[in-house]
């Protein structure tokens, strides 16, 4: 199946044809614009952040409310053909990156050379049942802020901004809370797993990603909570740069 480049789906940094591409999937309620600063901090990568509908520049577009339709949308509209490339996802973005990778394998399309997941337990682990997506806007925002943090103070302080933020947040939590992991063959690519040492996602839940691939799994925790990557940006970028260096090495060592 051929993909069609849809500019509204990607927020991209400067072209770097000799570097691997890094596709970033934002957290629940997040926007691609939050990762723009990484384009400058990762000179060894060509940066692309996936912009889902219902937020940022796509605020007026209908949102996805299930993982299957979201993954289908990414595969149909985001060009992922040229190797080498890697995926990064934080929180819900980790789950999206993982399921997009599995879908690419089902369609026998080129896979990322490395999957970098952050702040999310291995998807096959049991999860507590939640229905945050059914809460009224104000309660949804307050509960997500209480559990995870990461919602800017200006959003919490503004009725209008809370209403706008709740649209994407509700949709993403519906994707998350209605998701059901389907057993299948493990992946065969390396996975880098990142997390915050004070996050509710435990070291054991991060380590369990090893059960989902036959490739090497590296787990690294940083000081901080669920949004440790905002608290430790330089350290996180160094870790990403290290992971991407292995992608470059693999590509350069490939036979002509």
The residue annotated as part of the active site, out of 91, 94, 118, 239, is 91
How many degrees, rounded to 5, is the angle at CA 243 between CA 237 and CA 245? 100
Q: How far apart (Å, rounded) are the C-alpha atoms in residues 245 and 61?
A: 37
With H, G, I as helix, E, B as strand and everything else as coil, classify residue 196.
strand
Closest by CA position to 123, among listed 149, 85, 97, 87? 97
H or E element at residue 117: strand 114-118
CA 171/CA 214 separation, integer angstroms: 32
Residues 6 or more apart whose CB falls under 8 angstroms from that of 54 comprise 61, 62, 63, 64, 167, 168, 171
Asked about 91 being catalytic, the answer comes back as yes
How far apart are alpha carbons 188 and 238 in whole angstroms?
24
The 3 state secondary structure assigned to 121-137 is CCCCCCCCCCCHHHCCH
Rounded distance between C-alpha atoms, residue 64 and residue 224, angstroms: 30
Q: Which residues are catalytic?
A: 91
């Amino acid at each position: 199946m051929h993909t069609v480049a849809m500019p509204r789906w990607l927020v991209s940094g400067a072209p770097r044809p000799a570097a691997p591409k890094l596709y970033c999937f934002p957290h629940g309620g997040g926007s691609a614009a939050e990762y723009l600063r990484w384009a400058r901090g990762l000179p060894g990568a060509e940066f692309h952040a996936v912009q889902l509908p219902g937020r940022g520049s796509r605020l007026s577009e209908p949102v996805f409310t299930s993982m299957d339709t979201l993954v289908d949308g990414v595969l149909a509209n985001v060009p992922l053909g040229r190797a080498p490339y890697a995926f990064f996802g934080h929180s819900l973005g980790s789950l999206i990156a993982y399921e997009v990778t599995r879908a690419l394998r089902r369609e026998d399309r080129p896979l990322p050379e490395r999957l970098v997941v952050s702040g999310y337990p291995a998807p096959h682990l049991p999860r507590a049942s939640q229905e945050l997506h059914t809460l009224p806007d104000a309660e949804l925002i307050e509960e997500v802020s209480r559990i995870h943090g990461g919602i800017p103070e200006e959003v919490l302080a503004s009725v209008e901004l809370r209403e706008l933020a709740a649209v994407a947040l509700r949709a993403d939590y519906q994707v998350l809370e209605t998701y059901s992991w389907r057993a299948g063959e493990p992946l065969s690519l390396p996975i880098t797993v990142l997390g915050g040492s004070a996050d509710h996602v435990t070291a054991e839940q991060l380590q369990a990603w090893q059960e989902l691939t036959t490739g090497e799994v590296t787990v690294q925790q940083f000081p901080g909570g669920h949004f440790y990557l905002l608290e430790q940006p330089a350290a996180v970028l160094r870790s990403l740069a290290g992971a991407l260096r292995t992608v470059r090495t693999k590509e350069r060592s490939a036979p002509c």
